[in-house]
Amino acid sequence: MDGSSTLSVFYAYRDAPERRAALEQPAGAPERDRLFGLDEAVLRGVRVKHNLERNAPPGWARAVDARVNGLLSRTGGYTGDFASILGSLRDANAADVIFSTVDTVGIPLILLKRIGLIRPPIVYTAIGLPERLMQLCGEHMRRLYASALRRTHTIIAYAESEAEWLRAWIGPGTSIVLFIPFGVKVEAFQPVPQRVPEIDVVSIGADPRRDFDLLTTVATRRPELSFRIVTTENHARLLGLVPPNVIIETDIPLKQVRDRLAGARVVALPVRDNSYTGATTVLLQAMAMGKPVVVSRTRAIAKGYELEDGVNCRLVEPGDAEALERGVLDLLADAGAAASLGARARKTVERDLSWERYTNTLWRILSDAAG
């Protein structure tokens, strides 16, 4: 959608090195996709601020953060990044709407709103919130967090299963819980037909639910195949020793992620079952590049992402090494079937899962909340 707006939006991000690095990149850089549509909002004429504009939160905010999180931990609550939110409280309250992109900052925002320190409406993105809420201890804490969540204008989930769980847990109230599928820039992630794949199987991901152990089990069974795992240093450390046919890479830029996907014959994305992730970001990137993908059928992607086993991907049960191995081997054995699967995957994301569709949906939600 074109058009301008006088809206002002405060973006709340998790304070992480990759997020700060993305903010330092010029508009249009691949890493800017990690900013959840901030650049697209600017193009609409929106005034934007965020909580990472300082190099670090002020000392007083860090001190309050330590005390509040200590109190929450002792009383059975779930903690978050109060420091960066408190340090940018003036900018947050000057906005027409606050967009929380992750629970790490969303939880502090809703608790601060409950006591009156946050005034604008909050659009809250839940990414694994059920797993966090299940850690609350005691009925008092559960009522506190449910009450705080009801004070949001809209809660967004990227998985239908997560949205359904949250509606039931929060109960009746004023907040709206919506499922919106994530998206991918189909013009940035395109097939590279001239590229000759040099690795049989590539797996990429950073979230804690990735099941790289399952993939290394398959690699051990299949020493004739080559595997590449791209992940974080922490994930790599937890994997320990891997079979000699597995290459491990850590913390590479997004441009190289595209290169690694282009160089794969098959993309394998094993994920432990959970409510919020099915390796969604990398799944959509690989599909946009026309790659045949084998992915775990978690609750997060079972509905809402137009995935069909054997049509535009291969879906296997989480934790099932034999099913994962069979899916990979079938695609490696039949290049024609793999190419057809990849072509249909590309059509699926072009039709239903583009970045434009995702950011347009966000724009409507933020506009409604501000209005």
**pLDDT score at 110:** 98
Q: Are residues 206 and 346 in the same domain?
A: yes
Residues 234 and 208 sit within 8 Å (Cβ to Cβ): no
pLDDT tens column, 352-368: 999 999 999 999 999 99
**pLDDT score at 4:** 45
- Measure CA 143 to chain center: 27
pLDDT tens column, 97-125: 999 999 999 999 999 999 999 999 999 99
Mean pLDDT of 47-67: 97
Residue 5 has pLDDT above 70, yes or no: no
Question: Rounded to 5 degrees, what are φ and ψ at 148?
Answer: -65, -40
Query: Rounded to an integer, what distance in angstroms lies between the CA atom of residue 146 and that of residue 364?
Result: 25
Q: Are residues 227 and 362 in the same domain?
A: no
Amino acid at position 302, single letter:
A
Query: Rounded to an integer, what distance in angstroms lies between the CA atom of residue 367 and that of residue 355?
Result: 18
Residue 50 has pLDDT above 70, yes or no: yes
Name the token pair of 191: 């097939």
Q: Are residues 60 and 159 in the same domain?
A: yes
Mean pLDDT of 182-194: 95
Q: Are residues 270 and 129 in the same domain?
A: no
Residue 1 has pLDDT above 90, yes or no: no
Nearest to 122 by CA among 97, 104, 144: 97
Which domain CATH number covers 163?
3.40.50
Q: Are residues 99 and 153 in the same domain?
A: yes
- The answer to whether position 324 is within a domain reads yes
**pLDDT score at 2:** 42
Q: Are residues 176 and 205 in the same domain?
A: no
The secondary structure element, H or E, covering residue 267 is strand 264-269
Total domains in the chain come to 2
Residues 234 and 253 sit within 8 Å (Cβ to Cβ): no
Helix (H, G, I), strand (E, B) or coil at 158: coil
Q: Are residues 207 and 117 in the same domain?
A: no
Higher pLDDT, 171 or 198: 198
**pLDDT score at 28:** 84
- The answer to whether position 1 is within a domain reads no
pLDDT tens column, 243-290: 999 999 998 988 899 999 999 999 999 999 988 888 999 999 999 999
Q: Are residues 41 and 129 in the same domain?
A: yes
Residue 88 has pLDDT above 70, yes or no: yes
pTM of the model: 0.93
- The answer to whether position 191 is within a domain reads no
Alpha-carbon radius of gyration of the chain: 21
Question: Rounded to 5 degrees, what are φ and ψ at 176?
Answer: -105, 130
The secondary structure of residue 35, as a DSSP letter, is G
pLDDT band at 68 (very low <50, low <70, confident <90, very high): very high
Name the token pair of 32: 């800017």
Nearest to 176 by CA among 184, 167, 185: 167
**pLDDT score at 173:** 76
pLDDT more than 70, % of the chain: 99
Q: Are residues 211 and 346 in the same domain?
A: yes
Q: Are residues 130 and 72 in the same domain?
A: yes
- The answer to whether position 361 is within a domain reads yes
- The answer to whether position 189 is within a domain reads no
Which domain CATH number covers 256?
3.40.50.2000
pLDDT more than 90, % of the chain: 91
Nearest to 309 by CA among 348, 261, 263: 348
- The answer to whether position 300 is within a domain reads yes
Residue 58 has pLDDT above 80, yes or no: yes
Range of the domain at 366: 8-183+355-370
- The answer to whether position 194 is within a domain reads no
Query: Rounded to an integer, what distance in angstroms lies between the CA atom of residue 369 and that of residue 170?
Result: 19
**pLDDT score at 172:** 83
Query: Rounded to an integer, what distance in angstroms lies between the CA atom of residue 46 and that of residue 369?
Result: 14
Mean pLDDT of 148-173: 94
Query: Rounded to an integer, what distance in angstroms lies between the CA atom of residue 301 and that of residue 283?
Result: 10
Q: Are residues 156 and 221 in the same domain?
A: no
Q: Are residues 14 and 127 in the same domain?
A: yes
pLDDT tens column, 135-159: 999 999 999 999 999 999 999 999 9
Q: How many alpha carbons fall within 13 Å on the CB side of residue 229?
A: 30
pLDDT tens column, 13-41: 999 998 999 999 998 888 898 999 999 99
- The answer to whether position 188 is within a domain reads no
